[in-house]
Amino acid sequence: MSLEDKKKRILIIDGQGGGMGRQLTAALKASGVSAEITAVGTNALATSAMLKAGADQAATGENAVVVGCRRADLIIGPIGIVIADALLGEVTPAMAAAVGQSAATRILVPVSHCDNRIAGMEELPMSRLVESAVRLAREYLEK
């Protein structure tokens, strides 16, 4: 297998109930992307939701985020994954640093939750935000 044939690695990170990660995983799988999807939840419930949605592999917790960020070509998740103590405290400083310092391209879904507000962002339904993230992921993978 040549380097050009190597499958890209997508890392989806989510917390709380894993709803966004579940939707992202399912939508990426349904779109037919040719990539390995790894789901990492900040808790077991989030991980389970993404695994049930079709992730190729999954893990839970801080170290899984840190290791996953080193291996990923593309990281997708709520904007809170780059903010320490976001997602009701589930994002540790080490997780936020790992995402921010990763060489991977990041697609951050702009949701205003947990005392983080994004100026200039109109409130969109999660389905529209997921569609936009999947479109950006496909554009990245096709270049």
Distance in Å from the first CA to the final CA of the chain:
19
The pLDDT value given to residue 1: 41
Q: Is 142 within a domain?
A: no
Q: Is 139 within a domain?
A: no
User: What is the per-residue pLDDT across 30-57, written as a single tens digit (0 to 9) for each?
Assistant: 999 999 999 999 999 999 999 999 999 9
CATH assignment of the domain containing 113: 3.40.50.1380
Task: Please check the confidence at residue 4 and state whether its pLDDT lies above 90.
Answer: no
Q: Is 143 within a domain?
A: no
Looking at per-residue pLDDT, the higher value among 118 and 96 belongs to 96
Q: Is 55 within a domain?
A: yes
Count of the separate structural domains present in the chain:
1
The pLDDT value given to residue 76: 97
The pLDDT value given to residue 123: 81
Domain that holds residue 115: 3-133
Q: Is 141 within a domain?
A: no
> 14-45 burial, b if ≥16 CB within 10 A, otherwise e?
bbbebebbbbbbbbbbeeebebbbbbbbbbee
Q: Is 99 within a domain?
A: yes
Q: Is 110 within a domain?
A: yes
Q: Is 85 within a domain?
A: yes
The pLDDT value given to residue 62: 97
- How does residue 104 score in pLDDT terms, banded at 50, 70 and 90? very high
User: What is the per-residue pLDDT across 17-30, written as a single tens digit (0 to 9) for each?
Assistant: 999 999 999 999 99
